[in-house]
Structure 1
Amino acid sequence: MSKTVASVADKGIVRLGAGCRSPKTSVADKGTVRMGAGCRSPKASVADKGTVRLGAGCRTPKASVADTGAVRMGAGCRTPKASVADTGAVRVGAGCRTPKASVADTGAVRMGAGYRTPKASVADTGTVRVGAGCRTPKASVADTGAVRMGAGCRSPKASVADTGAVRVGAGCRTPKASVADTGAVRVGAGCRSPKASVADTGAVRVGAGCRTPKASVADKGTVRLGAGCRTPKAFIIDKGIVRMGAGCR
């Protein structure tokens, strides 16, 4: 089968078997689309709480789900793109090189290990998780959120608003941190030129061996930078959470 086109209305299910190269599927209202392994350029769209699952070995999958839908992309996808509206979840599997994911209104973005240039943005109490092995992750979340950056990042930068906490992991050499008024700054062992300023009951913790981390906290957010992170950048607005995995450069 070189091309497969399928459409199902109202709770229908479309399953495309292995070896389909250019399948296209659309399901309306709580439908489910499942694409088997070996599909190279699958496209899938599901409206209103639908679920799109793209199997392993898909090279250029694209998926979009509206209103609390979920998009799951299997391992081995190189250029997956996924967007979910209103509390939806996007999960991009391991081995994807240039994944991009955006979720609106308390949605969650999870990016698997082995991503090199992941970008993720979540609005209003959303959660962004970037897996291990990401080299240049960027993440933005709104108001009193938390940023966690995994081990292996060397020059992390993070900003959170008002009475938040910044934690910079081991391996950073020149950490800088600023928080407002009666806060606590802890600079770990092995930091060569740490600078820290605390304003407004915030806490900054800089771990051992950090080389060039910079962190600023505003409005009750929390920033945690893991050991060995090289160039992660994260900014938090409105109760979101950003987690960046190990190996991000």
Structure 2
Amino acid sequence: MERVGFVGLGIMGAPMARNALRAGFPVTVTNRTLERAKPLGEAGATIARTPREVAERSDIVVTMVTNTPDVEAVIFGPEGVAAGAHDGLLAIDMSTVSPVATREFATRAAANRPPFRTLDAPVSGGEVGAIEARLAIMVGGEESDLKRAMPLFEALGKTIVHIGDHGAGQACKLANQIAVAINNLGVSEALVFAKAQGIDLERTRQVIAGGAGSSWAMQNYAPKMLAGDFRPGFMVDLQQKDLRLVLDNAYSEHVSLPGTSLVH
């Protein structure tokens, strides 16, 4: 069984690493704040000090960090994954970052000495999906690398789709974020309108959820809204970061996205 490393143990990375452990993979982990790694160490993971050390101890390294500069730092920084690369290393970035930068990272990885393989495989499903190992995983890169990574992906998620070449996974994730953000707006406005009309909100939600207006947000978020449960499940600044990536890429391709601009 392949040795797996995780760099980044936040809301998503920590449960993903735990699921890899449960699936029987030998796991090495690190995080900018090493205190976060202790629970995984107690569960059987090896704790490393740097991404370089993770790479040296792993056959597959997963990065799950905040943004594009963070990915570049943990992969190509002085103590990054590239510094610990060895023959056969596969680096999988599961963060949500720029498709353009992702393609550049793949080129740099191929030119590294020694070179290493890469996939971009961002996820959708949030913290609950990560905990319950039912993430949707959108993969960019070569088919042979996806085939190799599939046992790990199957330990982390339920829907695994090869979108295309390097960067395609990230482009798909940004399309996902458009749908999520605008859908959330639609559900929220539907309930606000229903309340203003004086009609029963739960009955309204039920019938919408049974028709063409149904969605994941209507099924999962609307009940929480009606119960007054507005505890955060995702950071607003990260959602804004994702939509900014969308708008930057859309601008460069001369694509108009007025709904995304409004939600952002």
- Larger RCO: 1 or 2 (CA < 8 Å, sep 6+): 1
User: How does the TM-score come out when normalised to structure 1?
Assistant: 0.24
| Greater fraction helix | 2
| Greater fraction strand | 1
User: How does the TM-score come out when normalised to structure 2?
Assistant: 0.23
